[in-house]
Amino acid sequence: MMSPLLSLPGAVPAEGRDEGVAAHYGDLFREQRALADGNGFVDLSHRGVVTVTGEDRLSWLHLLITQHVTDLAPNRATEALILSANGHIEHAMYLVDDGTTVWMHVEPGSQGELIAYLESMKFFYRAEVADRTGDIAVVHLPAGSIAEVPDGVVVRETPQGRDLFLPRADLETYAAAHGPAAGILAYEALRVEGHRPRVGFETDHRTIPHELGWIGGAVHLQKGCYRGQETVARVHNLGKPPRRLVFLHLDGSEVHLPGHGTPVRLAADGQEGRQLGFITTSARHHELGPIALALVKRNVAVDAELLAGDTAAAQETVVEP
């Protein structure tokens, strides 16, 4: 989905998985500061939007996802994962139920695969799944924002702010009334600062929830069976995850940020040392400078100085070893 807000002054299109919205509108740090101060909004209209309706919507979803939702109260936000049979992360779903419908947004372009899986698991349950990406756009308001929400718009509120499920036809009108707009790079910089993982960035084909700190937030440990639950329980009760998420402060003298997949090694071993992990997301922060998230082997010492490619990096623990 190509956002109409790409026509706003200064808009520079994002690339890769975030193609379809603006990377920034001409001033990355100003946009970050505005969001940090509770001002403006972020166009997330490229994200997939899926709804589930019907009497059994919550009890049915409860059987398929990692979160406990049978008694989910109306307008209470939550998040959940769908795992493979081996416990590897396939989808992250950001949900809210408005009393009659479960609304969720997911990674751009992933809604088709998610819906296909959900449809295959319906059986006799009274639940209807729909792709609403074509007519509903996600707009993010930062924490502290006092922007008004139009009547009838579903809101998913978290400590990080409010996600609005806005009619796509109203996107330009809403933007004109509630600017300034901030690009996806500003949003991502604050996500990295907040140590929040994202599917397709912090995950690969073998990532399990324990590695990213999703236990307790997106994974409820006191609920019954779902696909991949055996792995979750086994690792939680008997073992330790093979990798862990870390936050990195990068050397600010480097011109280029290390991209996704850049090898992480011990600084003492230099660039010829054994690879211990990889960069998942890097960003330029308005206060912290260049920062990143990385996935490293569990036994890497928490105080070890690291190299991200050829860039020196000091780590902060996100997931305890």
What is the Cα–Cα distance from 102 to 51, expressed in whole angstroms?
Answer: 5
Look-up: residue for tokens 């809403």?
174
pLDDT for the residue numbered 252: 85
| Structural domains of the chain sorted by starting position, each given as residue range(s) with its CATH number in brackets | 2-44+133-192 (no CATH), 47-130+207-239 (3.30.70.1400), 241-320 (2.40.30.110)
pLDDT of residue 239: 83
What pLDDT is attached to residue 138?
98
If the chain, 321 residues long, is cut into consecutive pieces of 10 residues, what is the mean pLDDT of each piece?
Answer: 94 97 97 97 98 97 97 97 97 98 98 98 95 98 95 97 98 94 98 98 97 96 91 91 97 88 96 95 97 97 96 96 90
The predicted model scores a pTM of 0.96
Half-sphere exposure of 23 (CA within 13 A, CB side): 10
pLDDT for res 244 = 97
Q: What is the pLDDT of residue 271?
A: 87
Contact 214, 81 (CB under 8 A): yes
- Which pLDDT belongs to residue 270? 92
DSSP assignment of 34-53, as one string?
HHHTT-SEEE-TTSEEEEEE
Question: From CA 213, how far away is CA 223, in angstroms rounded?
Answer: 18
Looking at residue 202, its pLDDT comes to: 98
